[in-house]
Amino acid sequence: MIQIEGWNWFKLDEVGSTNDEAKKLLQNKSIITADRQTNGRGRRGRYWISISGNLFCSFILSAKPQQIGALSFIFSLSLLETINELNPKLDVSLKWPNDVLIASKKVSGILIEKGEGDFFIVGVGVNIKSHPKNPDLLYKSTSLKINNIQIDNDNFLKLYINNLNNNISLGFSTIKDKWLKFAKGLGEEIVVSLDNEQKTGIFTGIDDNGYLMLKTNNKIERIYTGDVFYKEQ
Ligand code: BTN
């Protein structure tokens, strides 16, 4: 175990999912990384294609119910800031609730799961060296390497932790304002795919719980979970 800026970092070789290892460890302010992940999970019951060489990590945090809504935004914003530091020229943006995009393509994924007690697990996958190229992906993907960022996983994680520590100390309204500056599609028509239906409307912002606000027929609907699609992808 390594101590790093207030976190305990556990490095593993191969796991099914770093989120599962985190659920077993349940130690506040700890991070688990693995070189290989054989059963990576994505949001909404999907699979996360875990190409060896990419970053797979899970953060364990004890959080009060009122802090949980902020986690998606803190972790995605910090990731975007890290990428921006490494190459300020890239077209980076954020897709609700917690995807980071480079030139509209997904470079990372975040999966937040509840652990026992008041623990939350934030699983983060970053395409550092390569990205899946399957034609049937829900979203087009990309990697840091293909965008001229050459960095090893450990150094990337250290920079990320630094940004996380800064953002964790901020209140949600500050995080929300920072996040919205990079939000893709704000003020534009988007489609949100829910479990059994699709809703089209104007993406007007996020509320104080982190719900997406969608204006449809002059009323604002608040969306708790779903997949966002833009007009052009
Ligand atoms: C998504 O965009 O659907 C979320 C993907 C989250 C992937 C990461 S990789 C590390 C951690 N372990 C997992 O099994 N999933 C997350």
Q: How far apart are CA 26 and CA 33, in angstroms?
A: 14
Residue 161: pLDDT over 60:
yes
Q: Which helix (H) or strand (E) holds 124?
A: strand 119-126
pLDDT tens digits, one per residue of 95-141: 999 999 999 999 999 999 999 999 999 999 999 999 999 878 889 99
43 close to ligand 1 (CB < 6 Angstrom): yes
106 close to ligand 1 (CB < 6 Angstrom): no
Give the phi and the psi of residue 93 in degrees, each rounded to 5. -150, 170
Residue 233: pLDDT over 80:
no
Residue 232: pLDDT over 80:
no
- Select the more confidently predicted residue: 73 or 138: 73
Q: How far apart are CA 171 and CA 101, in angstroms?
A: 24
Whether the model clears a pTM of 0.85, i.e. scores above it, the answer is yes
pLDDT given at position 68: 87
Of the candidates 7, 10, 4, 41, the residue with the CA atom closest to the CA atom of residue 25: 10
48 close to ligand 1 (CB < 6 Angstrom): yes
pLDDT tens digits, one per residue of 171-216: 999 999 999 999 999 999 999 999 999 999 999 999 999 999 999 9
Distance 52 CA to ligand 1 centre (A): 14
* 41 CA closest ligand 1 atom index: 14
Average pLDDT of the chain to the nearest whole number:
96
97 close to ligand 1 (CB < 6 Angstrom): no
Lowest average pLDDT, out of 66-70, 164-168, 176-180, goes to 66-70
